[in-house]
Amino acid sequence: MHSFLHRHTLIIQLLALWGLLVVCGGCRQNEMGLQGVDAEKLFVHEVYPLLESKCFACHGNDPEEIEAAFDLRSREGMLGGGESGQAALLPGKPKRSPLYVAASWEDPDFQMPPKENDRLTARQLSMLEYWIAQGAPWPDSSRHAAILAADDWDFGGQIRVKTSEARTSGWANRRYKEEDLWAFTPLTAPEVPANDYSHPIDAFIYQKLKEKGLTPAAEADKLTLVRRASFDLRGLPPSIAEVKTFLADQSEQAYPKLIDRLLASPHYGEQWARHWLDVARYADSDGFANDYARPHAWRYRDYVIRSFNEDKPYNQFILEQLAGDEIDPSRPEMLIATGFLRMGPWEHTGMSVAAETRQFFLDDVTNSVGETFLSIPLRCARCHDHKFDPIPTKDYYRIQAVFATTQFAEREAPFLPQENLNGMEEEKAQIMAWIKRAEEEQKSIAAKEEAAARAWYRARGLPYLPRRQRMKLPEDQRPARYLGLTYEDLGYRKVLQKELQTLHRELGRYEAWAFSVYDGPARVVHSVRPIRMPEKLAGNPEPTFILTGGSVYAPAEEVTPGILSAIPAMKAFHQPREAVPGGPVISKGMQGRRLQFAHWLARADNPLVLRSIVNRVWQYHFGKGLAENSNNFGATGKKPTHPELLDWLVGYFVGQGWSIKALHRLIMTSATYRRASDHAQLAALRQADPRNDYLAVFSPRRLEAEEIRDAMLLVSGELNPEMGGIPVRPEINLEVALQPRHIMGSVARAYQPSPRPEQRNRRSIYTERLRGLPNPMLEVFNQPGPDLACERRTASTISPQAFTLLNSSSSYDRALAFALDLQRSHSHIRAQLMAGMMRVWNRPPSKEEMEICLAYLKEMQQYHRQHPPQKMEYPLEVRRKMFEEMTGEPFEYTEKLDIYSNYVPDKKAWEVSPASRALADLCLLWFNANEFIYLY
C-alpha cells in the first residue's frame, strides 16, 4: 500500500468510524463461503499473496524505502505500527483495524491501495476481514512452507495448476477458478443430447434454447440461403444461373449439393485464406519508418489460398508454417510456408540497435504463435508471471527459445507450376526504367559537383583529383564538400538514393525467392538489403534468458525450449490415475526445435489448438465464436456459451482428418445455420437474449470490406477471376495516392495504380497491402491493420462509409460499368432493370420497385442532359516540397507519374450518354441498399 497515514487525528477518526462500519460481517463471510475456513491456511494461500501483490511494493519489498516506516512483512510489523506507533492490525477486530478500514475504501480520505485498478475485490476484502476476525494468525516460515507443500487448499472451488517455475514469490501456489481454465482442460467427448433434432449441432443448440425458454426461428427462404452460403464460402454473391438452379431444385439434396459446389470452387480458398491472413497479419511491406517492400510475401498468401482449396489437414498446415524448412528445405512450398513466422512488422536500420530489433522479432513471433494457434496472448507473461492465467514467465521464454535459432532469409525457391507469373516482365521493365532515370539524375548531380571541383583545382593550379581520392585529404587541401550544389541538389540526391534503395528491393519480386527462415547462429541483418543465407552456418545456438521486465539488457536465468506447462498439468489434474507426459523434450541444438514444437501443437490431445481452430471456423459462419474472444481463451476472455458443443465439434474435426471443409459442411447443413434472421416473437427474443448467444435466429451481418468491393466488381461485370500472382494496385482516392508519405529521410513514391482495368479489377486479396498506406475504401469498412492479429473484425457504422459507397469515384466507376454492361446485354429498359436487380440483389423487382426505378431514371436522364460532367485529367507529375535534413533548408523537386502516360482508365461519366449516367445513378443506389451489403 501507499504511504500509511499516521497523524493522530486521522487515527482517532478511523477508530471512531468503526461503529459505523460494523455491519453484518458474518453475512459477507457467509456469502463468500468463509465460515469454518482454517484461518491459518487462508492466510498462507490467500491473504499473504494478497499483501504481497497489493502492499509490499511500498511497505515491504525494499527495507530501506518502507513508506512511513510501516512494515507489512510480518505480524509484528503490523502490530508495531509505523512512525505514529499506532497499530494497523487489531486481531479479532477487523472493523477497528486501520489496515482493513483503508482497504475497504469506505472512508474517502483514507483509501489503500490508492489506485482504482489495485482496489481489493469484495472477495479479497472478505478474506482479509475473516483473517483478522479469526485473530490474524501468521505461521512461521517452516509452518508456512508445510501448508504450501500439503497442497490441500480447495476454498471456493479453486484449483492450483502445477506449472513450471514461477518468478514471483507465491505465484506458483495461486488458485484459479475452474471456469477460467476451461480452455486448458483436457478435451472431452460429450454425448449428443437426445431431443427432436437429429443433427448433432442442432441437438446441442436446442438443448440450451429449451433451458432458456426460447424457441428457434423457422428456416430461411432459399434465396436467403444461397446468398448466405455463397458469401460465406466464396466471398462473392451467387450468379443468376446459380440462384435459378438452386431455386428450381426441390429435392432434399439441393442444399447439400449447393454446399459441395461452393466448397469445390477455387474462390473458396480466396475467401478463407483472407480470414487466416487477418490473424497471420499478412502485408506486402515491413512497416516502421521505411516501410520497405516485402517482394516475395505474395507467395505465402498464395500458399495459404492453395492450402484451403486443397483442404490441407490443419495439423499439417501448422507444421508447414512453423517448420516447413525443417520438414524438407528442398521443397519450395515448405520454404514459402514459413513466411508465417515473418509476417509481423519488422525493421533494422543503422538507426536501430541489433539486440533490440532481434528481441522485437522474438517477442513478436512468440505472441503471434500464442494468439494464432493457442488462442492465448502470451505477451502478458513477457515481463512477469501472467496476472490471470497459469502461464509463468519461464514458459514464455521457453517457447521463445524454440525460435532462438530462427534466422531471416530470402531462400531460393523455384517458381511452382501452379504459381501465376503474369505481369512480372511488364512490372520489372517499369521498375528498371525508374531505376535508370534515377541513376541518370544522380549522375547529373554528381557531374555538377565534379565540375565545381575541377574549377576549384584549376583556380589553384593544382591537378584534379577524383572525389574518392580527394576525400582522404585534409579539408584545407581539397574543395569543400558539396561544392557547386544547391540545397535542392543536396535534398534531391538523398531522395534519389532512397528511391533507388526501395526500387532495387522491389526488383526481387520477379525472382524465385521465398520470404522464409533457416536455423542458424545469431547474426545482424538489415532491412535495406535482401537477406540471404550465409554459405557457412558455423557457431553455437543463441542462448535464451528470462529478461527481467522484458528488457534485453537485463538477462536473468537461462532457459531451454519448452511448451506451455499448464496443459500437461491440467491433464494430470483431471486424469490423476493416468500416466501423463510432461510434454515433448524439445531439442537444445541448432536444428529441429520448431518442428518438435509444431508436433506438440498438432497433437490430437492439444486442447487449446483444437478448440482454437474449430472456434474460428464457427465464428466466420455465425459472426462470433462459441467462445467470443478467438485470440484469448484465458480468464479475461469470454467463456464459451456451448462448451459441450465446442468439444464435440473438436472430436468430429479430428475424426474427419482435421478437415476444415468437413467442418464447414457439418455447420452449414445444420438447422441452426439455416435459420431465418427474423422471428415470430423477435421483440421478446431480443429482450431474453439480446446478443443472440443461444442462436434462436441467424444474426445478420454486413459484408466485410473486401466482400463489398469484390461483389461490386462481380455484379458490374468487371471482376477478373484470375488467381494468384504478384500484388495488383487498384485505383484509390487520388488525393490519398498523391499525398506525401514520409519515410526515413525522404518521401515514398506516389501510389500509382496498375495501368489496365483487368489488372486493377482483381479480387481484393490480391491487392497490395502496404502498412504505411492502407486502401481508404477497405479501411473505412473496417479492414484491420496488419500489425496485430485480428481476432474478429469490427462492423462500425460511420458516416464516411456512406460517403464512400455513394460519393467515391471507385463506387461510381463500378456503377457506371454495371450500367453499361446492362445496356450492352439488354436493349429494353425494363429488361435492364430486371437483369440488374437479379444481379445485385439476386431477385427480380416487384411491380412497385419497377415503377419507382422507371420514374427515377426519367428524372435523372433529364438532369444529366442539363448537367454534363467535367472531364478529369490524370496528373503526369507532382511537385514535392521538403526540408533537407542536414541543413533544415527547404527544397522542391518534381516526381514523374509515368503510369498515367499509358494508363487505361475505367470508363468515365463524360464519355457516356445521359441515359447511361442515369442508369449508373440507379445502379449506385442499388449498391447502397442494405439488401446488397448485408447478409440475412
The DSSP result for 231-262, as a single string, is HHHHSSPPPHHHHHHHHH--STTHHHHHHHHH
Over range 220-234, report the average pLDDT: 99
Over range 752-768, report the average pLDDT: 98
Residue 352, pLDDT above cutoff 50: yes
Residue 25, pLDDT above cutoff 50: no
**What confidence score (pLDDT) does residue 538 get?**
80
**What confidence score (pLDDT) does residue 12 get?**
35
Give the distance, in angstroms, between the CA of residue 703 and the centroid of all CA atoms in the same chain: 19
**What confidence score (pLDDT) does residue 922 get?**
99
What gap in Å lies between CA 5 and CA 22, rounded to an integer?
22
Over range 869-880, report the average pLDDT: 96
Q: How confident is the model at residue 345 (pLDDT cuts 50, 70, 90)?
A: very high
The residues that bridge with 894 in the sheet, in sequence order, are: 879
Pairing of strands 746-747, 175-177: unpaired
Residue 31, pLDDT above cutoff 90: no
CA atoms within 13 A on the CB side of 338: 30
Pairing of strands 175-177, 158-160: antiparallel
Q: How confident is the model at residue 115 (pLDDT cuts 50, 70, 90)?
A: confident
Give the single-character DSSP code of 383.
S
Q: How confident is the model at residue 753 (pLDDT cuts 50, 70, 90)?
A: very high
C-alpha cell at 313: 489437414
Length of the chain: 936
- Helical H segments across 761-908, by residue range: 776-780, 799-807, 809-825, 829-841, 847-866
Pick from 41, 22, 42, 40: which is nearest to 32 by CA? 42
Percentage of the chain beyond pLDDT 70 is 93
C-alpha cell at 380: 502478458
Residue 826, pLDDT above cutoff 50: yes
Residue 27, pLDDT above cutoff 70: no
| Least confidently predicted of 91-95, 634-638, 648-652, 824-828 | 91-95
What gap in Å lies between CA 75 and CA 362, rounded to an integer?
44
Q: How confident is the model at residue 773 (pLDDT cuts 50, 70, 90)?
A: very high
- C-alpha angle 562-568-571 in degrees, rounded to nearest 5: 170
Over range 323-348, report the average pLDDT: 98
Residue 524, pLDDT above cutoff 80: yes
What gap in Å lies between CA 467 and CA 479, rounded to an integer?
9
In contact, 645 and 205? CB cutoff 8 Å: yes
What gap in Å lies between CA 346 and CA 360, rounded to an integer?
8
Pick from 690, 670, 688, 691: which is nearest to 210 by CA? 688
The H-or-E segment that residue 411 falls in is strand 406-412
**What confidence score (pLDDT) does residue 583 get?**
67
The H-or-E segment that residue 890 falls in is strand 890-896
Q: Mean pLDDT for the chain?
A: 91
| Least confidently predicted of 125-134, 594-603, 763-772, 894-903 | 125-134
Its pTM stands at: 0.89
Residue 577, pLDDT above cutoff 60: no
C-alpha cell at 119: 482496489
**What confidence score (pLDDT) does residue 575 get?**
67
Sign of the Cα torsion 920, 924, 925, 927 reads positive
What gap in Å lies between CA 461 and CA 708, rounded to an integer?
73
Contacts of 866 (CB under 8 A, 6+ apart): none
Phi, psi (5° rounding) for residue 175? -110, 150
Give the single-character DSSP code of 899.
G
**What confidence score (pLDDT) does residue 260 get?**
98
Q: How confident is the model at residue 19 (pLDDT cuts 50, 70, 90)?
A: very low
Phi, psi (5° rounding) for residue 871? -80, 140
C-alpha cell at 744: 526515413
**What confidence score (pLDDT) does residue 576 get?**
61
Percentage of the chain beyond pLDDT 90 is 76
* Cα dihedral value 312, 315, 321, 326, nearest 10: -110
The residues that bridge with 454 in the sheet, in sequence order, are: none
Over range 863-869, report the average pLDDT: 97
Over range 34-48, report the average pLDDT: 82
SS (H, E, C) 311-322: CCCHHHHHHHHH
What gap in Å lies between CA 546 and CA 550, rounded to an integer?
8
In contact, 175 and 577? CB cutoff 8 Å: no
- C-alpha angle 568-574-580 in degrees, rounded to nearest 5: 40
Over range 361-380, report the average pLDDT: 98
Residue 10, pLDDT above cutoff 60: no
In contact, 178 and 157? CB cutoff 8 Å: yes
Pick from 588, 618, 583: which is nearest to 603 by CA? 583
Residue 665, pLDDT above cutoff 60: yes
Over range 831-844, report the average pLDDT: 97
Residue 80, pLDDT above cutoff 90: no
Pick from 717, 709, 727, 720: which is nearest to 762 by CA? 720
**What confidence score (pLDDT) does residue 167 get?**
86
Residue 890, pLDDT above cutoff 50: yes
Q: How confident is the model at residue 52 (pLDDT cuts 50, 70, 90)?
A: confident
Higher pLDDT, 155 or 29: 155
**What confidence score (pLDDT) does residue 578 get?**
55
Q: What is the pLDDT of residues 250-303, one digit of tens each?
A: 999 999 999 999 999 999 999 999 999 999 999 999 999 999 999 999 999 999
The H-or-E segment that residue 934 falls in is strand 934-935
C-alpha cell at 876: 503526369
Higher pLDDT, 352 or 111: 352
Q: What is the pLDDT of residues 145-175, one digit of tens each?
A: 888 777 666 666 678 888 888 888 778 778 8
**What confidence score (pLDDT) does residue 158 get?**
76
SS (H, E, C) 412-456: ECCCCCCCCCCCHHHHHHHHHHHHHHHHHHHHHHHHHHHHHHHHH
| Least confidently predicted of 188-192, 450-454, 582-586, 721-725 | 582-586
What gap in Å lies between CA 931 and CA 936, rounded to an integer?
9
Strands (E), 665-736: 701-702
| Least confidently predicted of 254-263, 383-392, 665-674, 761-770 | 383-392
What gap in Å lies between CA 287 and CA 770, rounded to an integer?
8
What gap in Å lies between CA 908 and CA 482, rounded to an integer?
49
In contact, 740 and 880? CB cutoff 8 Å: yes
What gap in Å lies between CA 724 and CA 708, rounded to an integer?
20
Residue 14, pLDDT above cutoff 50: no
Domain spans, the chain:
8-157, 178-218+604-699, 221-264, 313-414+512-602, 424-460+468-510, 705-935
Higher pLDDT, 72 or 289: 289
DSSP string, 543-599: PEEEEGGG-TT-EEEEE-----THHHHHHHHH-TTS----------SSSSHHHHHHH
Over range 180-191, report the average pLDDT: 96
**What confidence score (pLDDT) does residue 155 get?**
64
* Cα dihedral value 625, 659, 249, 833, nearest 10: 60
What gap in Å lies between CA 598 and CA 315, rounded to an integer?
9
What gap in Å lies between CA 177 and CA 171, rounded to an integer?
15
Distances in Å between the alpha carbon of 349 and those of 524, 527, 528?
Answer: 10, 6, 7
Distances in Å between the alpha carbon of 458 and those of 455, 463, 495, 510?
Answer: 5, 8, 31, 48
92-102 burial by CB neighbour count: b if 16+ within 10 A, else e? eebbbbbbbbb
Phi, psi (5° rounding) for residue 419? -85, 140
Over range 180-196, report the average pLDDT: 96
